[in-house]
Amino acid sequence: MNVYYQSTRGGGEKVTASKAILMGLAEDGGLFVPDHLPKLDRSLEELAAEDYKECAHDVMKLLLTDYSEEELKECIAKAYDSKFDTPEIAPMAEAEGAYYLELFHGKTIAFKDMALSILPHLMITAARKNKDERTIVILTATSGDTGKAALAGFADVPGTKIIVFYPKDGVSPIQKRQMITQTGSNTCVIGVDGNFDDCQTEVKRIFTDEAENRKLNGNGYRFSSANSINIGRLVPQIVYYVYAYTRLVREGRIKAGDPVNFCVPTGNFGNILAAYYAGQMGIPVHKLICASNSNRVLYDFFTTGTYDRNRRFVLTMSPSMDILVSSNLERLIYHIAGDDAGKNAELMKELSAEGKYSITPEMREKLRIFTGGYASEEDTAEAIRSLYEDTGYVIDPHTAVARHVYQQYAKESGDKTPTVIASTASPFKFETSVLRSLGQPAEGDDLALADALSRIANVPVPEAVESLRGAAVRHTKVTDRAGMEREVSAFLGI
């Protein structure tokens, strides 16, 4: 049965997967969601015998139903190739009885590579399928990792241009260096005086601005998104949860049908939503453990049933989670409201007007699979230090948030279910914070710090960092939120 996509806010007609990927965001400002979630059509044992590419095909074919087998396999082959530094694509490391799913072996050493390596190919194929000859303008806000991964994926891809906005004081030194040195004649990177929520809110406003879209269309352009608001980002993320579960089956660590927990550090909610979808499609999930940093808006939501962004924004050592408006939560709200677009639209209107909303007791009951926790800065540093001292394994601050939250959950609940922790970035992306957490000197050039971390962790500096040595700075523009739309027009020459 074909899967079609509809807006979480009820506007517009159902569209095909390729059309949803091409649009990025629904015309009414809502997010595209599948009209049903199909079940896996291969057994867990069969999936366990597959490599990553084969698993990716067997998951994505169920959700991207208007892509032919040939088209989908070609996209997958181009995405998951030698740009990953391991043939496993997403290997797992066992430490202290938990399984760390390493999602950072791609070109930019962060989990965003898992989806952004394939999104350009899905998008170009979608344009061809829909006979759309306009140049695709990827408009993206980033809290650090999406920006570089999207830039790397779309750089010099024919028929595309990409504009990335990032909070100029809200990303790590390596994240910033990765973005501002990005090559490609079709790339544009702009710092913003503000936080990620400012960037994301304005990008979503520009997306749905009728006058801006008319101007683009008149000049042969169309907007799309590389953020996780694009369903083409979310579908490939489901794959690695299926893959992780079936690796445990393949290695004899669990039996097919045994439940697992997934513990996911999350800010914009897309990564853990993908785990939720994997469970809905047939992966036996006991608990989804949502790990937050000091910006604990999601923890408070799961604890109280009220989402409230009216609070102090905290800059932390896990900047990709420094988010107070978790866009992908809207998809979950839509589902727990019984796929009721009207109810969801009402709550999103409250969020826009008042900065908060509360869900009903019936909706809260549907969240029983979720539990949450948060880690302070001290907790995060301790999680990095103690894991290294106990095992020699070095993790980044985002993964450390998840480790701390999982340990607290296991202690308080007594839950012995095998648990997979999503390890979302290489420690080399945040070497200053990691070195400080390990009690090591962390002053000076960020590339010299990478060398120091390499010696401590006993692993080579990743190519994604090594390649930055001597790389020229190409993007120096900074604007405020009010100037973002102007910068888009300037880059496109319209």
Q: Which residues are catalytic?
A: 112
158: left (phi over 0), alpha (psi -120 to 50) or beta: beta
For residues 57 and 400, give the distance between their C-alpha atoms in angstroms, rounded to a whole number.
Answer: 31
Pick from 358, 397, 395: nearest CA to 376: 397
Residue 189, strand partner residues: 164
Q: Do the beta carbons of residue 147 and residue 140 sit within 8 Å?
A: yes
Q: Do the beta carbons of residue 441 and residue 452 sit within 8 Å?
A: yes
For residues 310 and 373, give the distance between their C-alpha atoms in angstroms, rounded to a whole number.
Answer: 19
**Got the DSSP string for 294-321?**
S--HHHHHHHHSEEE--S-----S-GGG
For residues 60 and 79, give the distance between their C-alpha atoms in angstroms, rounded to a whole number.
Answer: 13
For residues 401 and 409, give the distance between their C-alpha atoms in angstroms, rounded to a whole number.
Answer: 12
Q: Radius of gyration of the chain from Cα atoms?
A: 21
- Give alpha helix (H) positions in 87-230: 113-116, 119-129, 145-154, 173-180, 196-208, 210-218
The 3-state secondary structure of 353-382 reads HHCEEECCHHHHHCCCCEEEEECCHHHHHH
Sign (positive/negative) of CA torsion 403, 407, 413, 417? positive
Residues with Cβ < 8 Å from 261, sequence gap 6 or more?
Answer: 285, 286, 287, 288, 289, 406, 415, 417, 418, 419, 420
Classify residue 312 as exposed, middle or buried by CB count within 10 Å of its CB (0-12, 13-18, 19+): exposed
Residue 431: DSSP 8-state: H
CB atoms under 10 Å from CB of 23, counted, come to 23
